[in-house]
Amino acid sequence: MAGTANFAKGKLKSFVERIEKVEEEKNTISGDIREVYAEAKAEGFDVKALRAVIRLYRQDSAERSEHEALVDLYRDAMGIGGSR
């Protein structure tokens, strides 16, 4: 039984260490992304609009079209003019 407990402890420690390493990498990458947004802002780009474009860029065309149609429907329902 002691061998099994030691094995489980070793596996647990391994998972914790791996998660910690990935969390550190994630924090580094998040910082890098913030820096890129700051550079874009310094160049005069609107960061809020840039984030919206990136969200759209990540979607496939069918998903994007469906989303845009739904937004248009909601705009019409609210009496808000669209830009299209």
Nearest by Cα to 45 from 29, 58, 53 = 53
26-36 mean pLDDT: 98
Q: In this structure, are residues 30 and 38 in contact, taking their beta carbons and an 8 Å threshold?
A: no
**More confident site: 3 or 25:** 25
What is the reported pTM?
A: 0.68
Q: In this structure, are residues 75 and 81 in contact, taking their beta carbons and an 8 Å threshold?
A: yes
Q: In this structure, are residues 82 and 72 in contact, taking their beta carbons and an 8 Å threshold?
A: yes
Mean pLDDT, the chain, as a whole number?
93
Burial 42-61 (b: 16+ CB within 10 A, else e): eeeeeeeeeeeeeeeeeeee
> What's the confidence (pLDDT) of residue 81?
78
Q: How confident is the model at residue 84 (pLDDT cuts 50, 70, 90)?
A: low
> What's the confidence (pLDDT) of residue 83?
57
> What's the confidence (pLDDT) of residue 1?
65
